[in-house]
Amino acid sequence: MKKFLKWFFIILTVLILAGIVALSFYIGSIYTNASKISLDNAKLSAPFTTIEIFDSDNKLIKEDNTVNENFAEISTLSPDTINAFISIEDKNFYQHHGVNYKRIVKAMLSNLKAGKFKEGASTITQQLIKNSHLTSDKTFERKITEIALSKKLEKQYSKEEILQQYLNIIYFGNNCYGIENAAQYYFSLPASKLTLEQSALLAGMIKSPSKYSPIKNPEKAIERRNLVLSEMEKDGKISPEEATLAKNKDLGLKVESKHKNKLNSYSQAAIDEAEELLHLPAQQIALQGYKIYTYQNEKLQNDLEQALLKNHPSSNYAGIVIDNKKHSVVAYNGDGNYKILECKRQPGSCIKPILVYAPALNEDIIYPCTQLLDEKTDIAGFSPKNVGNTYHGYVSARESLSKSINIPAVKILSYVGIDKAKKYAQELGIEFDEKDEGYCLALGGMTYGVNIAQLAGAYTAFANKGVYSAPRFISFIADKNGKIVYTHSTLEKQVLREDCSYLLTDMLKTCTQSGTGKKLAALDMPLASKTGTVGKSNSKQNLDAWNISYTPQLTCGVWLGNLDNTAIDYTGGNQPTEIVKNFFSKNKTTEDFERPSSIVERKIDTTELEENHRVVLANNFIPERYTKDELFSIFNLPKNISKKFAEAPSPLIKSKVENDQAVLVFNANEYMTYQIYDGNSLKSEISNKNGEQKLSLPMEKERKTLKIKWFYTLSPDIEEEKEIVFVKTKSKPYNNKRWYI
């Protein structure tokens, strides 16, 4: 046994040593190859960079697509500004030669202990190399290349030159590359005028610009800023008194409105998409000369911008137009303090077609004419309410959707099942948090919500016969030599049956005629629409207002609200619908949605629908006035045929003698005629009445026989009758004899 263990450890040691040698050789080869790479001085010294972005006609988009238009000389920056970045990012910046090996070992041990990638160990030099020369991929090879180029950079440039370029290339969120742009965006002043607390705030942001955004997450931004100040105090760069004073200052933001439109422009959205596709930051996309060719349609872009401008929204806003067939964003415009496409908002009732009605139609659970009881209800502990606490009794699924009635939507979701409904929505591009589980989802109650591209993108499937593909801004990307490096290839999937998409669209067309989107009826064109409004809990104020509308060719979505969650005073049926109306008034079409062969028109019995809330097909005997044409999928036709007008239904009859009167009580239907005879004498005829009817006739004798006949008013040939005998009951004489005698 001892001999076996001896050989086991010898072999294990040899394998470990061989692995170390192989790894060392692998690292060495990567390092050697990386050392041969020449530094691109143009990428390290460019004072500003611009990305060329083209529209669908290959014309240069006339927007400011400068990624870094302002450059800060390090000699103009205060010591506090420089020290803030060094204290939080690279304390030994002036001591190392590009790489801090002690810090790398410490980070590796920390990550191994945590069981995940928790800490990085990049120096300022390494960060500059990564942002100017490499992709953002987290690979071992990229890290070795980064180290090799960092050491080379330290030999060719001074510490001041490295720090200067680093401060002018790093990302501060909200489309701000470089400290000069960040200072002007967040504080409306040059970088040379930054105070201690402002410098600490910016230095703290660069670890995660979104997480520590002073606009989006002010509490976390202050916490991070104060950590930077503590590190500066620890390093002896500021006194305890200076640190305390700075920590007690507020954020002091002064974001000017002139920055907002640029931030949320079509070009910015295209740049963000290019970063995702090329795995490169915008700075490198610009430095390497990539050209981005988009789907933007100049006319549609102008029409959308004018529609938004005409209605003068006093809040933040976003509008998007998508080509349904090409799954491409042909127009986009937004206004806000940070990128609206990165923000998720509650969709309100605009989620109902996606999460509730489309799945229910596709699962053959409802017809457009299905009757649903709108009443106070409780489903699994959830008690939904309608707007104004108004309840409508039985309503059709079509009316419920078009008028955005809440309770029927929650009931339908319960019929479909939350998990199944979410799968449909996910296939239409909607993302859910793990906490999104309750029936409040039917009303748009999500943990985070959706952005306007996701929501409008889902609706394109309804216009596109159930086929979905995520909408994109970019058609293709070429490098500086004109070689195409990316082409948009749509990945389509059939999420809904064609017939179900048509039925849902037809229901949403009703919304434009008589529902919450009825402002659009004046356009007099084939248009499907849905509005949505999100209110503050326990308040009559609103937070978000939506309208998503589509024709066979285009889907237009509009969101209004405030990203800081201050209230707005309008609903989805107001300003957002007016904006959509203004846009489509300039893009009218006569082309209607193509009806698939799997959609048929059938007559249903309206008397059965009104009385028993059942959808049954009309038979051939039912008069026209008691039928209605409805659309159905051939895969989900009503199974029952009405018996009305084929046989006369017996009314529920009650009879009694009261005060020498023969009293007859029965339930009448408006399409029936009822005749009451005393012998051969017609005493009463009742027609066109619903509900309980009561008739009293005098009892001249001890016994009376009445006859009631009933027949369909429009089909008197089908007749039934019944005789009812009334008998006076004689009261027994009173017996005054005592039983015990």
- Tens digits of residue pLDDT in 617-652: 999 888 898 999 999 999 999 999 998 888 788 888
620 vs 394 pLDDT, higher one: 394
**Residue 737, phi then psi, degrees to nearest 5:** -75, 140
Q: Which CATH architecture has domain 40-262?
A: Orthogonal Bundle (1.10)
Find the range with the poorest average confidence among 102-106, 123-127, 539-543. Answer: 102-106
What is the maximum span of the chain, computed from C-alpha positions, in angstroms? 137
The residue-averaged pLDDT of 453-480 equals 97
C-alpha to C-alpha distance for 283 and 48, rounded to whole angstroms? 9
pLDDT digits (tens, 9 = 90+) for 484-515: 999 999 899 999 999 999 999 999 999 999 99
Contact between 711 and 673 under an 8 Å Cβ cutoff? The reply is: yes
From the candidate CATH numbers 1.10.3470, 1.10.275, 2.40.50, 2.60.40, the one assigned to the domain spanning 653-727: 2.60.40
Phi-psi sector, 655: left (phi>0), alpha (psi -120 to 50), beta: beta
Among this protein's residues, is 52 annotated catalytic? Answer: no
The residue-averaged pLDDT of 557-570 equals 91
Mean pLDDT of the chain: 87
User: Does residue 555 sit in helix, strand or coil?
Assistant: strand
Give the DSSP letter of residue 367: -
**What pLDDT is stored for residue 64 in this prediction?**
61
**Of 56, 132, 150, 349, which residue is the catalytic one?**
349
Residue 719: its H or E element: strand 715-727
366 vs 658 pLDDT, higher one: 366
Among this protein's residues, is 87 annotated catalytic? Answer: no
Domain range list for the chain = 1-36, 40-262, 302-476+488-585, 599-633, 653-727
Residue 256 confidence class, pLDDT cut points 50, 70, 90: low
Among 215-224, 248-257, 727-736, top mean pLDDT goes to 215-224
Contact between 466 and 496 under an 8 Å Cβ cutoff? The reply is: yes
User: Does residue 230 sit in helix, strand or coil?
Assistant: helix
**What pLDDT is stored for residue 121 in this prediction?**
66
Residue 739 confidence class, pLDDT cut points 50, 70, 90: very low
What is the sign of the dihedral through the CA atoms of 334, 337, 341 and 347? negative
**What pLDDT is stored for residue 741 in this prediction?**
36
Q: Name the superfamily (CATH) of residues 302-476+488-585.
A: DD-peptidase/beta-lactamase superfamily (3.40.710.10)
- The vertex-711 CA angle with 709 and 713, nearest 5°, equals 130
Tokens of 579: 């904006």
**What pLDDT is stored for residue 319 in this prediction?**
96
4 vs 239 pLDDT, higher one: 239
**What pLDDT is stored for residue 29 in this prediction?**
57
Whether residue 33 is predicted with pLDDT greater than 70 in this model: the reply is: no
C-alpha to C-alpha distance for 470 and 614, rounded to whole angstroms? 39
Give the DSSP letter of residue 534: E
51 vs 76 pLDDT, higher one: 76
Contact between 441 and 410 under an 8 Å Cβ cutoff? The reply is: no
Tokens of 224: 């991070």
C-alpha to C-alpha distance for 496 and 501, rounded to whole angstroms? 6
The residue-averaged pLDDT of 206-232 equals 91
**Of 89, 233, 399, 608, which residue is the catalytic one?**
89
Only one residue has tokens 């004073």, namely 245
521 vs 659 pLDDT, higher one: 521
**What pLDDT is stored for residue 92 in this prediction?**
87
